[in-house]
Amino acid sequence: MSGAPVHFDLAGRLTLALEDLDPEQARVARSELDPFQGGDPGGAPDVVLAARHGAEDGAREIQGPAHDGTTTALEETGELLVLAGTSACTVPSPPQPDATPVRVGLEPGFPLRAAWAPVLRPAMQLALHARGAAAVHAAAVEQAGRATLVAGWSESGKTEVALALVEAGASFLSDKWTVVGDDGEASAFPVSVGVRGWVLPALPRLRSALPLQARAQLAAAGAGRRLAAPLSRARPRSRLGDLASTAVARAVALGDRAGLSPSELRAAYGQSDDPGRRLALGTVVLLITAADERIGVEEADPAWAARRLVRTAAYERRAFAELQARAAYAGAQGRTEAWLEAVAREERLLERALGQAERVVRVTCPFPGDPRRVVEALHVTG
């Protein structure tokens, strides 16, 4: 991808520049940045993803795969690299608010998709701090002109509840990650949407409009679910057998998933609104997974919700934090401290942002479960 840089504007919250990537890296970047479209440079970028050429002197020290399959190296310059064969990707330090642009370098042939979630995505999210914004681990929809966020721990039902809200008349905004600012506005963050087969009976509009590839993927997962059914129905002979049977059933249910791009999901629901729109915060829902089938809704303190959200976001970015620990082991200065500062800064920012929401609620519910029950409970208490 030679020539002039291509910029992606994420709802005025962040600008990412692509510079001189090889064709496959450019293709992957455009796919990962859906639904945002690239254009001509319109100002200084916050994050730069650019071609990199290996240092002539080579790496100073290599850190082998410590049970995670990752090999890194630290150069004499203090630059941390993730290695993939003979090519490398640079890993930036957690950015300070006054230290933009954040630069990520890719050597030709490096598989960008392998570095997107552990390196580039968290670098982009932490760079949001310079704009007074943060990425929260939440799905989001638009209701009555405001953003409803559905947040919580991984595998707590965020996507399912958000899609059930869309089925009930809301408009899709974002899945898994949503950007919120200290101005009290929310917008989309680019990430794919995982749709699980077992929830489709609760989502008839989406079920009827699924792309063919997603249908085939879910059909294959459904076949696996049917093959596992005898094990789930068999009467365990011990407590350990009961746990194993439950674990298999849950694993099959959670693996029954098809990935859609945000544009594909928007098309399935007939949406033509601006994917980069910014909306004032309405309701922030924090899901708490229950051990039984009961659903409870109660008002929550925004500061409590901010603490929860910053911790789940930090956990989701743990691969990035672990890369900083590798650099610190090899003698790079300040990376661990910068990570801790970023987490603390994000908590302060989220307290200000959530304090401007119309409503913050804690919802206790089972997962997997019918998300329509959560939507009904929210409407009853709203």
Section 293-317 average pLDDT: 97
Determine the Cα–Cα distance for residues 284 and 281; give it in Å rounded to an integer: 8
| Residue 330 CB coordination number (10 Å) | 18
- The CA–CA distances, whole Å, from 282 to 146, 349, 375 equal 5, 17, 15
Determine the Cα–Cα distance for residues 133 and 199; give it in Å rounded to an integer: 32
Q: What is the pLDDT of residues 120-141, one digit of tens each?
A: 999 999 999 999 999 999 999 9
Q: What is the pLDDT of residues 225-258, one digit of tens each?
A: 566 556 555 565 655 555 555 555 555 555 578 8
If one compares 223 and 332, the residue with the highest pLDDT of the two is: 332
In the chain, alpha helices (H): 23-32, 112-115, 121-127, 158-167, 204-209, 212-233, 239-255, 262-268, 302-316, 318-329, 335-354, 371-381
Name which of 175, 127, 128 is nearest 149 in CA terms.
Answer: 175
- Written out in words, the top-level CATH class of the domain with range 134-201+262-316+342-381 is alpha beta
Q: What is the pLDDT of residues 23-45, one digit of tens each?
A: 999 999 999 999 999 998 878 99
C-alpha 84, offset from chain centre:
23
If one compares 55 and 8, the residue with the highest pLDDT of the two is: 8
Phi-psi region of 154 (alpha: psi -120 to 50; beta: other; left: phi over 0): beta
Determine the Cα–Cα distance for residues 228 and 249; give it in Å rounded to an integer: 7
Phi and psi (nearest 5°) for 276?
-100, 15
Determine the Cα–Cα distance for residues 290 and 292; give it in Å rounded to an integer: 5
Q: Is the pLDDT of residue 318 over 80?
A: yes
Q: What is the pLDDT of residue 45?
A: 94
DSSP state letter for 356: T
Q: Tell me what the pLDDT averaged over the chain comes to.
A: 90
> 8: which 2 tokens?
């992606």
**CA angle 152–281–121, rounded 5-degree value:** 55
Residue span(s) of the chain under CATH 3.90.228.20 come to 134-201+262-316+342-381
| Residue 181 CB coordination number (10 Å) | 22
Determine the Cα–Cα distance for residues 292 and 361; give it in Å rounded to an integer: 19
